[in-house]
Each structure stands twice: as C-alpha cells, then as structure tokens.
C-alpha cells in the first residue's frame, strides 16, 4: 500500500477497459453488483498481499458488466502476472490441477 495519504489508485493500473464498457442502463442496480465484485476483489487483494505481491504491481479491481453483475478484473504489470502465473502453475502441479 502507499503511504502519506497517497491513493493506491494512482499507479496507472486502473485504465482497464473490458468489452462490456459503455453507457449505464437505467434501472440496473450496478451498485449491488459492484459491491459483490468489491468484496471478492478485496479478498483476492488480501491473498495477493499475503504471498508477497505489492498492489502497485498486481491487484484485483471491482467493476460490473452491462447487466449489473459484479466483475473482478486482475490488473497488473507483465512481470507480476508472470510471477502469479508461476505460483498458480506450481499450485496446480501439486494438486493435479484440481481447483
């Protein structure tokens, strides 16, 4: 995390655009979907921190899709993504790929 009141959002990892970006549809509860996504993103971010990643290198970001469902996107620097992929591959090899 950053210090001195600086936002963790200021490191350039927030310019994430999915295919579903666009105008909001009236009557769709985007806030509820975002809250669901935020809870999952927070959990994933705590897990990333727990294994030594810095959120300035890789983090989960909450969003919604066009129907208001929660979405979690993983945003990160390529080298952090490579490290995370290696960690997951090692985990998968140790559990015969079972999730």
pLDDT digits (tens, 9 = 90+) for 2-51: 344 444 444 444 444 444 456 778 888 899 999 999 999 999 999 999 99
- Could you tell me the pTM of the whole model? 0.70
Query: How many residues belong to the chain?
Result: 99
Q: What does the pLDDT read at residue 22? A: 62
Q: How far apart are the first and last CA of the chain?
A: 29
Q: What does the pLDDT read at residue 49? A: 97
Q: Is-contact 76 13, C-beta < 8 A? A: yes
Pairing mode, if any, of strands 70-76 and 58-64? antiparallel
**Cα–Cα distance between 81 and 76 in angstroms, integer?**
6
Q: In 3D, which of 12, 11, 73 has the Cα closest to residue 38?
A: 73
pLDDT at 60 over 60: yes
Q: Is-contact 34 5, C-beta < 8 A? A: no
């Amino acid at each position: 995390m950053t210090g001195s009141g600086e936002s963790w959002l200021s490191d350039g990892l927030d310019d994430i655009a999915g295919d579903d970006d666009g105008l909001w549809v009236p009557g769709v509860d985007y806030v509820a979907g975002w809250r669901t996504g935020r809870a999952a993103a927070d959990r994933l971010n705590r897990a990333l921190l727990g294994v030594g990643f810095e959120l300035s290198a890789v983090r989960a970001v909450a969003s919604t899709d066009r129907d208001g469902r929660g979405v979690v996107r993983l945003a990160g620097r390529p080298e952090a993504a490579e490290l995370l992929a290696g960690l997951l591959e090692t985990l998968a090899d140790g559990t015969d790929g079972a999730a």
